[in-house]
Amino acid sequence: MMPKASPSRHIPKPKLLSPQSWHPDSWRDKPVAQQPDWPDEDALRQTCKSLSELPPLVFAGESRNLLDQLASVSRGEAFLLQAGDCAESFDALTADQIRDKLRVILQMSVVLTYSAGMPVVKVGRIAGQFAKPRSSPTETVDEVELPSFRGHMVNDPDFTSSSRVARAERLLTAYHQSSSTLNLLRAFTKGGFADLHRVHAWNQEFVASSPLGQRYEQVANGIDAALAFMQACGVSSASEPKLHMVDLYTSHEALILEYEEALTRVDSLSGNWYDCSAHMLWVGERTRQTDGAHLEFLRGVHNPLACKLGPSATPADALGICEVLNPDRIPGRLTLISRMGAAKVEDVLPPLVEAVRDGGHPVVWACDPMHGNTFTSDTGRKTRHFDDICTEINSFFKVHRALGTHPGGIHLELTGENVTECLGGSSNFAHSDLENRYETMCDPRLNATQSLDLAFRVAELLQAR
């Protein structure tokens, strides 16, 4: 991660984001979707007060660096890899799972960079991804109806009435877990784990002997040869920090607005508001109403933002979102993440891309091939098929190629562990395999092998450009 704030560089002048007044709490005057019922309002108020007195999790200068990198994606000069858990868990805070998730993101990123010759901007769904929108506010099992599980920031997934109560103190736990996760990520990304000389080591605990592992080894050998050449020319890790450190930025869905408000601070360098809970925040398919509370909150913070667009989104919706979140058309400020479903993307995406392009909005277009392709397996598990995921990405590239726009990135749900939650891939998981290691608290994730497999396929699409 990054603290290389250079105060003289890219510090925007304080300016009003919109002629209408904005404050971190102005969202409270708007309709707010997908919020829990907090039974203890005093506890919520007290918790938010405590949160607002705690240090920020990220520094505004880091968000500005990410904005610069996303601006290069919007110009077609780089590719965005945004990936991580569907929902992080309070019960899974271990160094190993953080390391494994980082490692798979690094491996995917070297495959994309090496094969496609394009810088990869790395953003985790990590260190704050604890709140989930739900299709129904309640869940009924055997005629017992309870509030839905909304992520560990809110309640617990066990199907008991006590577990499902929304407890405000969970907001503080989310903050502290984000802080520990971020601390270790900063150590790994800056302290040597991400050194390009370790590309082989990342593969070792992995599948070095499998066909996919061998394909990765070829990339790693190529990188070794390039590093040896550069060393002979006098460029080494010691002289070039980029060889042994990476920038990994954090992101999550800005869903629980009390939490986001409490971590929103004025940056002392620029005088602008930043939501310091993560570098980048996104708004989900269910909370993207232009007159709703979530857009009202996000329009006022200067972080890079993203918005999901599902198959019901119209060109007018997309333009409305661009006008609210990025009226000044700042490159890198807004990423639109399409999540249409493999069968629909070629029909529904083109009019949106055309409208945004013709409206002069310099967005990053990213493809989330996960959320439009979820179904229930023969064994009753929520799952996704690797082939549908590839098909949606293929179609996304095809649409952008036809319109002359940049297919700027992918947005994935994955884990570094060898779970069996998605079907297919190089291990060709069948419905019955899902029972082996199905661990997600929410949506099915690609495992490490499936993720690397996907990276090779996306690299081929990028090469074909």
Contact residues: ligand PEP, CB under 6 A: 86, 133, 284-286, 308, 339, 371
Taking alpha carbons only, the member of 167, 163, 177, 87 closest to residue 127 is 177
Which of 246/370 has CB closer to ligand PEP? 370
Name the pairing type of β-strands 138-141 and 382-383: unpaired
Smallest gap from residue 368 Cβ to ligand PEP (A): 6
Which range in 27-35, 258-266, 351-359, 436-444 contacts Co ion by CB under 5 A?
A: 436-444
The alpha helices in 191-329, defined as continuous H runs, are: 199-204, 211-232, 257-262, 293-300, 315-325
Which of 64/150 has CB closer to ligand PEP? 150
Torsion of CA 185, 64, 199, 455, to 10 degrees: 100
- Rule CB under 5 A: choose which of 66, 86, 182, 337 binds Co ion: 86
HSE (CB half, 13 Å, CA atoms) of 302? 27
Smallest gap from residue 337 Cβ to ligand PEP (A): 7
3-state secondary structure 285-305: CCCCCCCCHHHHHHHHCCCCE
Which of 167/371 has CB closer to ligand PEP? 371
Which of 125/164 has CB closer to ligand PEP? 125
Task: Name which of Co ion, ligand PEP, none residue 453 binds, using a CB cut-off of 5 to 8 Å depending on partner kind.
Answer: none
Residues 6+ apart with CB under 8 A from 407: 365, 367, 396, 397, 399, 400, 401, 461
Residue 125 φ then ψ, to 5°: -85, 80
Task: Name which of ligand PEP, Co ion, none residue 133 binds, using a CB cut-off of 5 to 8 Å depending on partner kind.
Answer: ligand PEP
Six-digit token string for 284: 């989900």
Which range in 78-86, 107-115, 213-221, 307-315 contacts Co ion by CB under 5 A?
A: 78-86
Smallest gap from residue 251 Cβ to ligand PEP (A): 10
**According to the binding rule CB under 5 A, does residue 88 interact with Co ion?**
no
Which of 267/285 has CB closer to ligand PEP? 285
**According to the binding rule CB under 5 A, does residue 443 interact with Co ion?**
yes
Smallest gap from residue 463 Cβ to Co ion (A): 29
Instruction: Give the whole-angstrom CA distance, residue 126 versus residue 278.
Output: 9
Smallest gap from residue 101 Cβ to ligand PEP (A): 15
Which of 286/398 has CB closer to ligand PEP? 286
Task: Name which of Co ion, ligand PEP, none residue 406 binds, using a CB cut-off of 5 to 8 Å depending on partner kind.
Answer: none
Question: Helix, strand or coil for residue 142?
Answer: coil
Smallest gap from residue 372 Cβ to ligand PEP (A): 8
Whether 58 and 276 have beta carbons less than 8 Å apart is answered as: yes
Which of 196/410 has CB closer to ligand PEP? 410
Which of 156/443 has CB closer to Co ion? 443
Task: Name which of Co ion, ligand PEP, none residue 284 binds, using a CB cut-off of 5 to 8 Å depending on partner kind.
Answer: ligand PEP
Taking alpha carbons only, the member of 127, 107, 295, 284 closest to residue 201 is 107
Smallest gap from residue 359 Cβ to ligand PEP (A): 22
H or E segment and range at residue 337: strand 334-338
Smallest gap from residue 86 Cβ to Co ion (A): 4
Nearest 5 degrees, angle CA 403-CA 409-CA 415? 150
Residues 6+ apart with CB under 8 A from 419: 437, 438, 439, 440, 445, 447
Instruction: Give the whole-angstrom CA distance, residue 460 versus residue 465.
Output: 9
Smallest gap from residue 324 Cβ to Co ion (A): 24
Q: Is 428 exposed, middle or buried (0-12, 13-18, 19+ CB in 10 A)?
A: exposed
Which of 148/237 has CB closer to Co ion? 148
Task: Name which of Co ion, ligand PEP, none residue 302 binds, using a CB cut-off of 5 to 8 Å depending on partner kind.
Answer: none
Q: Which of residues 262-291 bind Co ion (CB under 5 A)?
A: none
**According to the binding rule CB under 5 A, does residue 446 interact with Co ion?**
no
Which of 311/350 has CB closer to Co ion? 311
Look at the block and give the residue holding tokens 């510090």. 11
Fill in the amino acid letter for 428. Answer: N
Task: Name which of Co ion, ligand PEP, none residue 308 binds, using a CB cut-off of 5 to 8 Å depending on partner kind.
Answer: ligand PEP
Which of 284/424 has CB closer to ligand PEP? 284
Report how many residues bind Co ion under the rule CB under 5 A: 2
Residues 6+ apart with CB under 8 A from 70: 80, 121, 304, 331, 332, 333, 335, 364
Smallest gap from residue 166 Cβ to ligand PEP (A): 18
Binding site for Co ion (CB under 5 A): 86, 443
